[in-house]
Amino acid sequence: MPNLTTDVLIVGAGGAGMYAAIAAARKGASVLLLDKSLVGRGGATVMAQMTVAAAIGQQEPDDWTIHFEDTLKAGRGLCNEELSALLCEEGPKRILEMEQWGTRWARENGHIKQEMAPGHSRRRCCYVDFLNTGPAVAATLRRKVGEISEIRRISNVTIIEIVTKDGRALGAVGLNVLDGEVVTFQAKAVILAAGGLTKLYARNSASANMGGEAYALALWAGAELVDMEFVQFFPIGHLAPRLVGMDPIMWDPFRYKLGGKLLNGQFEEFVDRYGGTDFGQYTATRDLASYAILKEAEAGRGSPHGGAYLDFRHIPENQLRAAFGPVIDRLLLNGIDLTKTPVEVGPMAHYHMGGVRVNNHMETRINGLYAAGEAVGGANGANRLSGNAITEAFVFGERAGSSAAEAAQHLHVDWEPKLAAAAFERLNALRSRQSSDGVRPVALQAELQNLMWENAGPFRTGAKLAAALARIQQMQRDDLPNVTVTDETVYNLDLLDWCELRAMLTTAETVVRSALARNESRGAHQREDFPDSNESMLKNQVVELRKGEIVSHWTAPVQLHPGGKSHG
Quick: pLDDT tens for 99-123: 999 999 999 999 999 988 878 999 9
Give residues with Cβ within 8 angstroms of 194, minimum separation 6: 11, 12, 17, 43, 159, 209, 210, 213, 214, 217, 375
**Residue 49 binned pLDDT confidence (cut-offs 50, 70, 90):** low
Q: Give the pLDDT band of residue 229 (cuts 50, 70, 90).
A: very high
Q: 435 falls in which pLDDT band (50, 70, 90)?
A: low
Q: Tell me, what's the pLDDT at 298? A: 87
Q: Element (H or E) spanning 256, and its range?
A: helix 251-258
Decide: 158 and 174 in contact? Cβ < 8 Å: yes
Taking the mean position of all CA atoms in its chain, how far away is CA 188?
26
Q: Calculate what percentage of the chain has a pLDDT beyond 70.
A: 93
Residue 322: what pLDDT?
85
440-495 pLDDT tens trace: 999 999 999 999 999 999 999 999 999 999 999 999 999 998 888 877 778 888 88
Long-range residue pairs from 61-64, CB within 8 A, at least 24 positions apart, any chain: 61/122, 62/122, 62/124, 64/88, 64/89, 64/91, 64/92
Using the predicted structure, report yes or no on whether residue 294 has a pLDDT greater than 50. Answer: yes
Average pLDDT for residues 3-8, to the nearest whole number?
A: 94
437 has a pLDDT exceeding 70: no
pLDDT for 567 equals: 47
**What's residue 414's pLDDT?**
80
- Is the pLDDT at 425 greater than 50? The verdict is yes
Cβ atoms within 10 Å, residue 240: 15
Which residue in 207, 261, 283 sits closest to 49, CA to CA?
207
DSSP sequence for 206-223: S-TT-SSHHHHHHHHHT-
- The pair phi, psi for residue 111, each rounded to 5°, is -130, 165
Q: For the domain 419-537, what is the CATH code?
A: 1.20.58.100
Amino acid, single-letter form, for residue 131? L
Give the pLDDT score at 130.
Answer: 67
What's the pLDDT at 4? 93
Q: Which fold does the domain 234-347 belong to in CATH?
A: Flavocytochrome C3; Chain A, domain 1 (3.90.700)
Residue 427 has pLDDT above 80, yes or no: no
The pLDDT tens digits of the residues spanning 66-85 come to 999 999 999 999 999 999 99
Checking if the pLDDT of 282 tops 70, the result is: no
Residue 501 pLDDT level (bands cut at 50, 70, 90)? very high
The amino acid occupying position 406 is: E
- Give 385-411 pLDDT, tens digit per residue: 989 999 999 999 999 999 999 999 988
- Give the number of residues written for the chain: 568
Distance CA 391, CA 94 (A): 8
Tell the burial category of 551 from Cβ atoms under 10 Å away from its Cβ (0-12, 13-18, 19+).
exposed
Instruction: Supply the mean pLDDT for the chain.
Output: 90
pLDDT per residue as tens digits for the range 323-375: 877 888 888 988 999 999 999 999 999 999 999 999 999 999 999 999 999 99
Sorted by where each begins, the domain ranges of the chain are 234-347, 419-537
Of 80 and 433, the structure prediction assigns the larger pLDDT to 80
Positive or negative CA dihedral for 216, 214, 39, 450?
A: positive
Q: Which residues 6+ apart lie within 8 Å of 4 measured at CB?
A: 32, 183, 184, 185, 186
pLDDT at res. 420:
81
pLDDT score recorded for residue 226: 98
Per-residue model confidence (pLDDT) at position 1: 64
DSSP sequence for 401-445: HHHHHHHHTT------GGGGHHHHHHHHHHHT---SSSPPHHHHH
CA distance 114 to 127: 7
Per the omega criterion (within 30 degrees of 0), is the bond before 241 cis?
Answer: yes
Q: Residue 568 — pLDDT band, cuts 50, 70, 90?
A: very low
Tell me the pLDDT tens digit for each residue of 516-555.
999 999 999 999 999 999 999 999 999 999 999 999 999 9
